[in-house]
């Protein structure tokens, strides 16, 4: 039997993340929140963070909500609500800044997927740190996915569904952000192994 983490402290953070993104979609706030390189250059730096929470369309939002739910089923019990909020905020800033500096060809960008790659990498490392063998498989799996995207490009089907180019370099940036976020876990794991 599957034992899902349904306690409020586990379910409210991902629900809040989905609700925030849905609220931005309902009010069609892309024009003031999306990553727009030209407007960021003019001083609208909030877009580096807020762009992670808006989406190209409803299917784009639905795909990212499915990702949030998947991560919740795998890793909800690893974080407290405040930690979840801080992780997603850090990764939003990390991804936005990373896209700005390392992806000069991206002029318009939206979506949670880069941030979610960071969250799942952090969760996989947390799994490893607490001794779950599935963490290693998940960690390898996410990096195989990223490598596939880097060598073969984005999925044409997903790009068509979301009516936007999938920013695979942003996924890589997000995954690297997950490793940065998990640095204390890695240090703790190494210390435990050496003890």
Q: Tell me the DSSP string of 100-123.
A: HHH-TT--EE--SHHHHHHHHHHH
Tell me the per-residue pLDDT of 134-188, one tens digit each, with 9 for 90 and over.
999 999 999 999 999 999 988 888 888 887 878 999 999 999 999 999 999 999 9
Given a cut of 90, is residue 53 above it in pLDDT?
yes
- 117-132 pLDDT tens trace: 999 999 999 999 999 9
> What is the share, in percent, of the chain residues with pLDDT greater than 90?
82
Question: Residue 11, Cα to own-chain centre: how many angstroms?
Answer: 17
Query: What per-residue confidence (pLDDT) applies to 194?
Result: 85
Give the pLDDT band of residue 2 (cuts 50, 70, 90).
low
51 exposure class (CB count in 10 Å sphere: 0-12, 13-18, 19+): buried
Alpha-helix runs per DSSP H in the chain: 8-26, 30-33, 37-41, 47-50, 58-75, 81-102, 113-129, 133-152, 156-162, 168-181, 183-194
Q: CA–CA separation, 154 vs 157, rounded Å? A: 9
Which carries the bigger pLDDT value, residue 82 or residue 157? 82
Write down all domains in the chain, each with its CATH number in brackets: 8-194 (1.20.1540.10)
Q: Rounded to two decimals, what is the model's pTM? A: 0.94
């Amino acid at each position: 039997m599957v034992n899902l983490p349904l306690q409020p402290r586990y379910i409210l953070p991902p629900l809040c993340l989905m609700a925030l993104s849905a609220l931005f979609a309902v009010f069609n706030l892309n024009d003031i929140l999306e990553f727009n390189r030209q407007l960021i250059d003019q001083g609208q730096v909030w877009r580096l963070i807020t762009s992670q929470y808006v989406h190209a369309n409803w299917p784009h939002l639905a795909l990212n909500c499915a990702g949030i739910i998947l991560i919740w089923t795998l890793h909800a019990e690893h974080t407290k609500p405040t930690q979840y909020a801080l992780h997603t905020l850090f990764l939003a800033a990390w991804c936005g800044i990373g896209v700005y500096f390392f992806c000069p060809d991206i002029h318009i960008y939206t979506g949670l997927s880069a941030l979610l790659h960071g969250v799942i990498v952090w969760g996989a490392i947390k799994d490893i740190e607490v001794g779950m063998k599935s963490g290693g498989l998940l960690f390898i799996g996410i990096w195989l996915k990223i490598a596939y995207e880097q060598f073969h490009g984005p999925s044409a089907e997903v790009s068509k569904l979301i009516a936007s180019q999938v920013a695979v370099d942003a996924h890589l940036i997000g995954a690297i952000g997950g490793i940065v976020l998990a640095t204390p876990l890695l240090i703790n794991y190494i210390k435990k192994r050496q003890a």
